Structure 1
Amino acid sequence: MATPKIRPLLYAMMSAFGVGLTFIALIMLSQAAQNSENFDQLANSILWVNILCLFVLMVLLVGNLFRLFRDYQQNIPGSRLKAKMVGMFVGLAIIPLLIVFYFSMQFINRGIDTWFNVEVETGLDDALTLSRNALAMQMRDHLSATEQIAQRLRETNSSQFIYEIGKLREEIGASEITLFGRNSRILATNSDLSVNNVPSRVSNEVMMQIRQNRPYVSLDPLSNDAYEIRTAVPLVAENMPDIIGIIRARFPVSQRIGRMVNSIDSSYTDYKRIVYLREPLKRTFSLTLTAVLMISLLASIFGAFVLSRRLVSPIQNLVEGTKAVAKGDFDMRLPVPGKDEIGFLINSFNEMTKGLSIARKQASLSQNLVEAERANLEIILASLSTGVISLESDLKIRTANKAAGSILNVDFSESRGELLSNLAKEHNVLNELFVVIKKYLDEGNMVWHEQIIVHSDTGRRILTCACSDLSNDTMENEGLVVVFDDITIQIQSQRDAAWGEVARRLAHEIKNPLTPIQLSAERVRRKYLNTMPKEDAEILDRSTHIIVEQVAALKEMVNAFSDYARSPDMEIVTINIAILLREIIDLYQEQESKINITFDIDSDDLKFDADPGRIRQIIHNLVRNSIEAIPEDIAGTISVNVKQCDINNIKMIEICIEDNGSGFDKNSLGQIFDPYVTSKSKGTGLGLAIVKKLVEEHMGFIEAENAKKQGAVIKIFMPENEKMREKMISSFKHKKDNGVHSL
């Protein structure tokens, strides 16, 4: 807060600043009145300068008026004298200001009206209409010439198109004529430009109009005030109504006509802009003049306050000082005006504020120690990979560390003090955790430990949760703390290891006796089938046939077990993904004629480092699953899309396989990659589990979801090369150390 010695200087500086702004506004207003072209540049500046000046004076005046009214109501010495001086200044200043304001308004309104002439506006309208009609006539003539070219080309042999187009271009004076085929491919072109200048493609607007069998013509601006007329007409077969091509022609407009058109259009636009600004100009000048009047009036009123302030300054400073102390400003010090009674009073005030300031600093030091301890605790919580949420007794959020937000997919940065139930309504995973917490609280259990399953957008996740209360020594409940961790990856790893061991043992135990069983059944069939009665022979034939079929099915299952349980010894080579996938898709397309399989890739030269045998197995399994999921009574479609993508600065190859089959069961969507989880009547349930294992061997990951309309979508993401694979491993380690449980 300014001291009594500084405050008069500050008021004088602000007053001088306001007066300076007023003179600047008047000078700018005078320039704008002399030349209307300066209006756009100066109008906003004039208005803002006046507003700023008004603001400065209003700030000063409002403060002084408020102080005067308060002093007058409280009968403070000097307040009545100050009120009389302000009244005299207002009376002396308002009458001449109103007279000047009236005559200035009359001058502005009549002066602006003399700027406009009706005959000039009519002449500009006629010139603009004439220029547009001239250009429209040229456009019609050039379009007619293009249509005649189409007629002549329709009667010309296709081998003569290039020669004929060159001849026709010179006849009609076009700068370029191009003939496009049905697929927008250039069939012939002739131009007066350089040989290396390739004609541009046909725009969508032209294509849309030509498909409606309508000609196209447009006037396009070029550089250097030049224009160009572009026409396009369909080329129709001689004996058929089908459109077999598009003829596009470009005609230059002379620079002289272009400059004239631009000059007329610019002059017309400038005049219309001035006409449009006629009334706003009046209003702006009137508003500015009104602002100047207000500034002058406010400046006069403020002068009265400046002259009367010194009479009551010491007492008013003391009042301001007491208010500052009441607001908590204990560093307030007032200058001592002298050694009289007022000086003694101000000295006592300064001693009092000094004692209060010392006491507040001691309290602030204690508060800082508490805050430091809180900050240390927050640092410890932030470094944990386990999620921690502390709640008030009414379940309002007190604190939540970074790992809690990562695990629950919730931003807790601005949720302090918010009810956990309100935040849970907007986040599915947090809502499921809240239901568990609420259940135990309703049962009266403040301390509990449980492993729960939640469902997020990426599938099912397993959380291990523990809760403790925060009761103090007086047994008052001050809230609770919930600690949880995402153990989905650990559980999945343990499950995969267990299933791998089961698969290895089953493959070993079952595979050995299968071949003797099959050979024995076939031997019995050959030896006794022809020696037995017909009825017994049919039974033997059917039984041995069933044994052989079931042995084959068991062998297929054993092979699936072996694929799932085998060790990840891979032969990484650089492969062309487009060639590999096309071979697989062509194979299935020949076998499944009722299903349309499409393939799309960013580039046919897209390569990445992988084991080709395992990539083939991945695609085989996924395409076969899609085929089996499509009902026989619908037209099946399978789309395979490959593209490059960037995930967390790691270059990846994304393979997306989408079908229109029955899709996944929503209840088991988070478990479809687990072994023996399947919705099909046939199969071992190991297909997607093997696919997931093969993808993870390449340090990739796989996602599954239902399509928006119908069917299923499988997305595979694998690093592009060994360098990206190493970055992927480093990313996993970093995220695990920081409590992040997903890519």
Structure 2
Amino acid sequence: MSPPQPASRGTRNPRALRWAWGVGAVVVMAIGLILLLLLTQSTNNRELYERNYARLFAVNVVVAAVLFAVIAWMAVRLLIRLRRGKFGSRLLVKLATIFALVGLMPGLLIYVVSYQFVSRSIESWFDVKVEGALDAGVNLGRTTLDILANGMADKARSAGSQLADIPDAAAGLTLERIRDQLDANDVVLWSASGQLIASVGQSRFLLNPERPSPQQLRNVRSQRAVAAIEGLDETGTAAESTAHIKALALVSSRGLGLLAEPRFLQVVQALPPALVANAMAVQTANREYQERALARSGLKRMYIGTLTLSLFLAVFGAVLLAVLLGNQLARPLLLLAEGVRQVAEGDLTPKAVLQGRDELGGLTRSFANMTQQLADARSAVDHSMAQVNAARANLQTILDNLTAGVIVLDAQGLIQSSNPGATRILRVPLAAFEGRPLAEVPSLEDFAKRVNAQFDVFLSEQTHHGLDHWQQSFELNATASPFSQDAITLVARGAELPGSNRLLVFDDISEIVSAQRAQAWGEVARRLAHEIKNPLTPIQLSAERMEMKLLSKLADPEQALLKKSVKTIVDQVDAMKRLVNEFRDYARLPAAELKPLDLNALVQDVLQLYENDAATVRITSELDALCPPILGDAEQLRQVIHNLLQNAQDASEATRRPDFVPEVSLRTQWVSAAQRVRLVVRDQGTGFPDHILKRAFEPYVTTKSRGTGLGLAVVKKIADEHGARIDVSNRVVDGAVDGAQVSLSFAIETSVAG
């Protein structure tokens, strides 16, 4: 058995197309998920969120639109298939709907819950207590920083009193002491013009330390001491490392004089990192809270829009996957259903299979194997049926060409079938009586009854004697006359067929019986010739001697009587001699010596003997010049022609009238289609009676009052010796018999020799 065929080219292209659609759908969904992830991450960074939200949202909308277009296109295709009534459309729609609902309902539930959660969560972010707490934290940080700054300003003013009497050259040691006292990072002494006098700490390593601004110096003169917090504008760890308190105090000089200038003491102290970090955190949180409070509705719309877009992507992806998965699930089923439909319609061509390893792919392969097995079985059955049909045709041809008759009967005697031989032998159209009892066939009632009786006896004795057939002879249409034309002698043989049918085979042995009768008559003729011929000569001689001895001794009246009596005896003896000679000729007809013979020349030779014939019936001839030589015995064929002409003249003589002179015609003909030469003799007599026509060639069957009936019998015997076909019939013209016709058909020389 050949393996199942893989999917054809027509099924590979849709498969590649489905793979392309599947890969495209996965790519689009992956892009959507990535965009959603980026959108989610951007919400943690306000600036990034505000800068990229529009573009991310637009790209997600495009992806959603593409998915929606694909789903709409597939839905339109499904609707078109459904309207056209294509096989499997309803199943595809049902599977797609089921998978879409499976993906849609959970998505909608999650969306509703998430929508409520997002809406209420955003509102909960902007509570009054949270806002008050953030404001209190900011105020607390400011107050703390202000206290630290004011304290540092007071300390710087107190430390400035220590420098009142210290000259500029010795101010360094005092500054070092002040730095230690105040735990400052940097201490600098500035002149009234803003020139550096002395410094300790980090500023001494600077080539150009930052000078106080003139405004700051004026403030110090008016307020004696000022302090400011710097570095809080930085973010992250930079603020923690650079945030400090810068205090600037006026150092008054105690000397009196117009030239004495005031000096300024600058003290820089770093703020604690924890304090700076907390202050910055509270400040940042308060700022973000205020910003988001102002953009509360826009933020809500962004989050809800992002959630809705996520729902669309999820739902579209679910529907698309539903259609694809439904198609993948339905495709093997549709393939099987289409294959089943084709098998139901008788199409057993190799079916397409799926190469998947799942159960549905295995099912398609099993179905393809089953279809292939059915195809092989059908092929085997077709081959067997072809053989059976060929055998049946051969058997029918044999039956049609059998010379024997064959009839098949059922157990009730109904005719099931018959061959042309049965119709020819029984002379009844048996084909018109099929399905009817044999006893209903005209003229076969007695035959059917006897056949059924033979079958009954055979079936009853079959089990006891082990017989397989019966054989019996039958005489059909027998009448009071033994020479009836319709009388048929049959030898029949019967047997039982499978299924209680009965086989009846029979053959017409009328010709055989006629031949046996002819053979018997030949034997009788031989014995009669032997027994009768011997006493005839002594009787004739004795009568003639009596005439010679007694004629002179008798008176005239007695002499006349004697002459008349002797003449009667001699004539009758001659007649008996002729009869005995005919018997002898029929019984002792020698075997024919077949030689090439020109039939036309032989006919012309015989016709010369009838030119001066005193018969009143004229003989005409029509000889075909195309007749080739035949194989025959000239003497025997001469006797055949003589017998036929004499019989024809005798038959035509009875119809002679003053106004009508009958004639006998002799004709030869070359039949090229049959490769035979035909000899036909016709008369214009009364024809053969019906009871004579069938047995015309049997001995002693004659219509003449004085004939022996051996003429046609001798002709038939000579024709058989020559292998010629002989036929006798009545000529019918305008519905009336117009004489008889005897025809002989001879084989040509080349045909027989070959």
Which range, TM-score by smaller chain? 0.3 to 0.5
- TM, length-normalised to structure 2: 0.46
Q: Work out which of the two has the higher radius of gyration on C-alpha atoms and give 1 or 2.
A: 2
